[in-house]
Chain A
């Protein structure tokens, strides 16, 4: 989230799409409903299903799963055509005025630079038109971008964008998405009403938008809507992803993700031989004369300080701070790739630290097959999972599964301290309430004992490249179970010259005199104490920042990009809802996401993390793999041809081994669109072990429209089977008007089927019934073109009475 939970209260309009916060984030969602009671916030819900969020929304529209880019493209078009955008904001805080390179082209769904054989783009043409680089400049790519502040230049981002989205008319949006045209226009007008200084709107989404082959572009399109309406950086605005696990935000920040090191520093690629190679190629370059390019300019300080935290005294200027020890992946190493490697027999083992390998999917049968090809599997978890039990799953003969498995029972959250970072980036410390059962161990105990054993083994028997194993900093008071307080201090970072913990990442150095485990957490545990444990309940501004409650990254800022909440002179767009304000000497209000004493006249640009200094409506270069503007493509499995171009599918997705054969190429055999989701009574899979929650929502069910059920002779409360090209599930039928038939294309009626994902064979009634109840038995093994998030939403199925 750019904003935070409490901030929903500040919105005039909240568009919820691809999310179901009333069910899945009820305690944070409350602030939207409180806002409605207090000042009339309008709540819009767009979702394939009429859910408990729709039930309390002011406006609800059904949408065909996976057509969100068309929906947002339609909003962009409507906002531009009807001049609903916040013009001053767009000129000041976005790259609308930047000129796009002449070599950039977009023809029939394809951007320039496409290589069909490799299914990839060469992105060099997706660039700005640059000033001529200064004489003797070593790097022409560092030249500044040209701009036209009037936005009139035909190659300005503004005009190119307008042309790109002109095709996304309300009628076209309706034909693609199934949203009735009138309902779409109603939503566009309502959301568009926030494109003025004294109104602000928020967009709230979750994995309903990301679980698509074009997931990244859907989020970009959403961001563009918010930028055009001037809603980013403002209280009550923002691009707000609701995350679904207690510390999924924190563990992304801390880089349990293949492509990053802590604090979103990119993992080096092969060929970046030295630290300087890396620094010359990875960080963003300054693109405008006055932009700060804060992230790019400080990248080296952050990386060197992280290497110092990782490798301690062994990271020295002489050895490039042990940069060469950082592993350089050959290519994508994400979830889908890992299991594909396992399935191909190239991976010996997997350690699952709290993860349901099989139920998570996609294509659970294929996932189970992958695990069965491993030599070994280690499970660290408090409770049985589908990964720990797959070898004796329904229909599996354990004798056939040659994988050696260790189950290491771990403590629960309540049996240890530590911090969780929520969706709003608030890191909140928790305390140990009770000891774990005698036979279980902390995760850190397992990690600590693993490392201590490995060090012994490398000392005794040698082995591959032992230096990083030997030199990893592990100077904890209890090396066998590193205490969480000590790690929190390590993450914060230290000035090695004084031994004192740092209060800000601004103090980090690239000479090896400072450390940080994760630069965005510097300041979370300074000398004065653990800021994440703070419990202050004062809110002097009345804006809901609660700066003394816990601590949010970065530097306790509660709204990201909050310089954009003010105009060119530093005055809030809406004085009644200020983010930050220039008081003549400093920015005050929220903790400014900007140099605190940089006067508006210096025009340094609100978006300090970009080289442009402004937000990107057009995303140049390698920022994406599939285009500088979001474009609608059909899902991998779709009941309709692409109405906007002859490029049917996202052309830059990666197709895994054998996967293409498991996709339905049309809707003849599998005519219905299915989507997967959670319900409020469960969280992913673990709650199948909780009796009260099994009681509250006991059985695997499938939601389907009344019209479809009638056609198939399925009755409410009866049983139904759902088949995709990959698998089959069976559950209780909920036949409901909440699943509406949609009319798409030229009058084609499409039915959508809802399949919740919680049930599985490792717990709850699924463990007893032994029936196929995992939604992901049905889902396709394909991911987003950029980040390979699987396409869990919007695939084709057939339905029959069971």
Chain B
């Protein structure tokens, strides 16, 4: 196999023009997590680690079946457990696979100032290229689902790649392959949506009146969707009810940090973007520019550097750590 095998790119972070976006007919791929079929076995969690050669962490039981309290730079997939008493006195054990949702409009990519560190392939997969990551963690604050995690040792940010190495060669993602009950499925987005809609109907027939397909419009839809049997309990599943890119990206904060970074290439990229925008106006930007445009819109709304969004756990996320520039692109965490 040629090592030059690659994927068509739709957008790259901090890059005004990238990819071969003329290939707009490329089929879109998605995962769907049918929570009704999920048994919380953590096969996806372990398969993800095994395939990606990630080290085991020294975890401790904190009064739950959940293995880790949170995602980490070496845990990209986590089963979250939540016990809920129902009005009829029955019990629901809500279990959700938490990992990157691969937003159609990725907040991480919009927020990322490092050219090419975050890539969205033409098929919808959002991938991080750690060789280009500058460790500023803007992606972390840009994500409405609180997914990317910073590793202080390598000073890079990591998350699920949707097993882009596997899907490139025709294999399904490791979590999908392992999933014992077929709760996680993978295929063309339209097929996944069709599955989700049909399953929602079945769940409604089984008495789950609020069953829903979670594919939030605020981020343009996601390339990992959920079939949620108890749609009235999104919060209990740890899913934001209305995730939104705008609420999560702070352009002024971005600029402040970019200045400190002094990354010439980044500036060059942004200036190029600015020129493009002036020439073409804000209407109908080419797809790869949409995210950046979102970013600019947020700036107009007067972001103040405070992160405004919610983490997936419903708690506010702290302001992103200040990144100091010393002339190199190596970022240091000081907070």
Listed in ascending order, the chain A residues whose CB lies under 8 Å from chain B are 22-23, 26-27, 29-30, 33-34, 37, 50, 52-56, 58, 60, 679-681, 691-699, 701, 715-718, 732-738
Bound Cα distance A472, B245 (Å): 76
Query: Do A697 and B93 touch (CB < 8 A)?
Result: no
Query: Do A55 and B46 touch (CB < 8 A)?
Result: no
Query: Do B67 and A698 touch (CB < 8 A)?
Result: yes
Listed in ascending order, the chain B residues whose CB lies under 8 Å from chain A are 36-43, 45-46, 49-50, 56-65, 67-68, 83, 85, 90-93, 95, 180-182, 199, 202, 206
Q: List 27 A-B contacts (CB under 8 A).
A: A22-B41, A22-B181, A26-B180, A29-B39, A34-B182, A50-B93, A52-B93, A55-B39, A55-B92, A55-B93, A56-B36, A58-B206, A680-B40, A681-B42, A681-B67, A694-B56, A695-B57, A695-B59, A696-B45, A699-B60, A701-B61, A718-B63, A732-B61, A734-B64, A736-B83, A737-B91, A738-B83
Bound Cα distance A283, B165 (Å): 61
B31 vs chain A, min Cβ distance (A): 18
Bound Cα distance A27, B58 (Å): 27
Residue of B nearest to A697 (CB): B67
A485 vs chain B, min Cβ distance (A): 31
Residue of B nearest to A40 (CB): B206
Given contacts A695-B58, A698-B59, 18 further A-B contacts (CB under 8 A): A22-B39, A23-B41, A37-B37, A50-B91, A52-B41, A53-B39, A55-B93, A56-B37, A680-B40, A696-B45, A696-B59, A696-B67, A698-B67, A715-B63, A717-B62, A732-B63, A737-B85, A737-B91
Q: Which of A54, A696, A699, A715 contacts B93 (CB 8 A)?
A: A54
Bound Cα distance A732, B64 (Å): 9
Query: Do A691 and B180 touch (CB < 8 A)?
Result: no
Residue of A nearest to B50 (CB): A692
Query: Do B46 and A52 touch (CB < 8 A)?
Result: no
With A698-B59, A698-B67, A699-B61 as contacts: A680 and B93 at CB distance below 8 Å: no
Contacting residues, chain B, for A680 (C-beta < 8 A) = 39-42
Bound Cα distance A516, B92 (Å): 53
Query: Do A693 and B46 touch (CB < 8 A)?
Result: yes
Query: Do A695 and B56 touch (CB < 8 A)?
Result: yes
Query: Do A30 and B61 touch (CB < 8 A)?
Result: no
Shortest 10 CB-CB contacts between residues of A and residues of B: A717-B63, A26-B180, A699-B61, A716-B63, A691-B56, A55-B93, A22-B39, A695-B56, A30-B181, A732-B61
Bound Cα distance A11, B56 (Å): 40
Bound Cα distance A267, B295 (Å): 79
Query: Do A56 and B63 touch (CB < 8 A)?
Result: no
Query: Do B59 and A30 touch (CB < 8 A)?
Result: no
Bound Cα distance A16, B165 (Å): 40
Contacting residues, chain A, for B46 (C-beta < 8 A) = 692-693, 696
Q: Which of A27, A55, A58 contacts B180 (CB 8 A)?
A: A27
Contacting residues, chain B, for A30 (C-beta < 8 A) = 180-182
Residue of A nearest to B67 (CB): A696
With A29-B180, A695-B59, A698-B60 as contacts: A55 and B67 at CB distance below 8 Å: no
B39, B64, B68, B202: most-surrounded residue (chain A CB, <10 A)? B39
B322 vs chain A, min Cβ distance (A): 32
Contacting residues, chain B, for A736 (C-beta < 8 A) = 83
Contacting residues, chain B, for A734 (C-beta < 8 A) = 61, 63-65
Residue of B nearest to A699 (CB): B61
Query: Do A33 and B37 touch (CB < 8 A)?
Result: yes
A531 vs chain B, min Cβ distance (A): 27
Bound Cα distance A691, B50 (Å): 11
Bound Cα distance A717, B199 (Å): 36
Q: Which of B62, B65, B92, B181 contacts A26 (CB 8 A)?
A: B181
A319 vs chain B, min Cβ distance (A): 53
Bound Cα distance A733, B61 (Å): 9
Q: Which of A52, A692, A698, A735 contacts B63 (CB 8 A)?
A: A735
A24 vs chain B, min Cβ distance (A): 10
Contacting residues, chain A, for B180 (C-beta < 8 A) = 26-27, 29-30
Query: Do A692 and B56 touch (CB < 8 A)?
Result: yes
B176 vs chain A, min Cβ distance (A): 14
Bound Cα distance A29, B40 (Å): 13
Bound Cα distance A679, B39 (Å): 12
Bound Cα distance A52, B64 (Å): 13
Residue of A nearest to B64 (CB): A734
B40, B57, B90, B181: most-surrounded residue (chain A CB, <10 A)? B181
Query: Do A56 and B60 touch (CB < 8 A)?
Result: no
Contacting residues, chain B, for A696 (C-beta < 8 A) = 42, 45-46, 59, 67
With A29-B180, A37-B199, A692-B49 as contacts: A697 and B65 at CB distance below 8 Å: yes
Bound Cα distance A668, B260 (Å): 71
Residue of B nearest to A22 (CB): B39
Query: Do A26 and B85 touch (CB < 8 A)?
Result: no
A23, A56, A693: most-surrounded residue (chain B CB, <10 A)? A56
B222 vs chain A, min Cβ distance (A): 23
Bound Cα distance A718, B68 (Å): 17
Contacting residues, chain A, for B41 (C-beta < 8 A) = 22-23, 26, 52, 680-681
A731 vs chain B, min Cβ distance (A): 8
Bound Cα distance A701, B67 (Å): 13
Residue of A nearest to B83 (CB): A737
With A698-B67, A716-B63, A733-B63 as contacts: A26 and B43 at CB distance below 8 Å: yes
Query: Do A56 and B42 touch (CB < 8 A)?
Result: no
A706 vs chain B, min Cβ distance (A): 10
Contacting residues, chain A, for B199 (C-beta < 8 A) = 37
